[in-house]
Structure 1
Amino acid sequence: MNTSPETTRAPVPDASLHNGRSQGSRFGSWQEHHGWSAASSLRRLASRPLGTLLTIAVMGLALALPLAFYLLLGNVQKLGDALGQSQSISVFLQPGQSAQQAQLLARQLGDRAEVATVTVKTPQQGMDELAKMQGFSGALHTLDDNPLPYVLQLMPRAGASADALVQLVADARELRGVDLVQDSGSWRQRLDALLGVGNRVVLILALMLALAALLVVGNTVRVDIASRSEEIGVLLLVGASSAFVRRPYLYAGIWYGLFSGILAALLAVVIEFALAAPVAQLSRAYDGQLQVGGLPLWLLLAVPLAAAALGWLGARLVSAWQLRKAV
Structure 2
Amino acid sequence: MQELPLNESPLLGESHPRGGRSRARPVASWREHHGWSALASLRRLMSRPVGTLLTVAVMAIALALPLTFYLLLGNVQKMGEALGQNQTVSVFLQPTQGGSAAELTAKKLRDRAEVASVTVRTPQQGLDELARMQGFSGALHTLDSNPLPYVLEVLPRPDAGADAVERLVADMRGMQGVDQVQDGGAWRQRLEALLGVGRRAVLVLAALLVIAVLLVVGNTVRVDIAGRSEEIGVLMLVGASRAFVRRPYLYAGIWYGLFSGLLAVGFAVLVELALAEPVARLGQVYAGKLQVDVLPPWLLAAVPVAAAVLGWLGARLVSAWQLRKVA
TM-score by length of 1: 0.86
Q: Alignment partner of 1:289: what SS?
A: coil
Counterparts in 2 of 1:13 and 1:223: CA distance versus 1, 3 Å: farther
For 1:29 and 1:8, the matched residues in 2 are separated by 17
Look up the match of 2:270.
270
How far is 1:124 from its partner?
1.3
Look up the match of 1:242.
242
Structure 2: gaps (5+ residues): 1-8
How far is 1:81 from its partner?
2.5
For 1:111 and 1:59, the matched residues in 2 are separated by 53
How far is 1:220 from its partner?
0.5
For 2:281 and 2:173, the matched residues in 1 are separated by 40
Letter matched to residue 54 of structure 2: L
How far is 1:293 from its partner?
2.5
- Does 2:308 match 1:311? no
For 1:206 and 1:196, the matched residues in 2 are separated by 16
User: 155-164 or 309-318, which moves further after superposition?
Assistant: 155-164
Letter matched to residue 278 of structure 1: P
Q: Alignment partner of 1:92: what SS?
A: strand
For 2:294 and 2:113, the matched residues in 1 are separated by 38
Q: Residue by residue, what CA displacement relative to the aligned partner does 1:117-171 show, whole Å, maximum 9, x if unpaired?
A: 5432111112233445xxx244223222334221122344686665454333223
Look up the match of 2:293.
293
- Does 2:86 match 1:58? no
For 1:161 and 1:46, the matched residues in 2 are separated by 53
Identity of aligned residues (%): 67
How far is 1:185 from its partner?
5.2
Checking the alignment, whether the CA contact within 8 Å between 2:12 and 2:40 is kept in structure 1 is: yes
Letter matched to residue 139 of structure 2: T
Letter matched to residue 284 of structure 2: R
Checking the alignment, whether the CA contact within 8 Å between 2:88 and 2:153 is kept in structure 1 is: yes
- Does 2:146 match 1:140? no
Counterparts in 2 of 1:13 and 1:30: CA distance versus 1, 3 Å: farther
Checking the alignment, whether the CA contact within 8 Å between 1:13 and 1:244 is kept in structure 2 is: no
User: 309-318 or 269-278, which moves further after superposition?
Assistant: 269-278
Checking the alignment, whether the CA contact within 8 Å between 2:86 and 2:157 is kept in structure 1 is: no
Checking the alignment, whether the CA contact within 8 Å between 1:217 and 1:311 is kept in structure 2 is: yes
Checking the alignment, whether the CA contact within 8 Å between 1:232 and 1:245 is kept in structure 2 is: yes
Look up the match of 1:82.
82
For 2:157 and 2:66, the matched residues in 1 are separated by 35
RMSD: 2.7
Aligned 1:174-323 pairs, distance under 5 A: 174-184=174-184, 186-323=186-323
Aligned pairs, number = 316
Structure 1: gaps (5+ residues): none
For 1:160 and 1:254, the matched residues in 2 are separated by 44
Letter matched to residue 124 of structure 2: Q
For 1:215 and 1:35, the matched residues in 2 are separated by 26
How far is 1:277 from its partner?
1.4
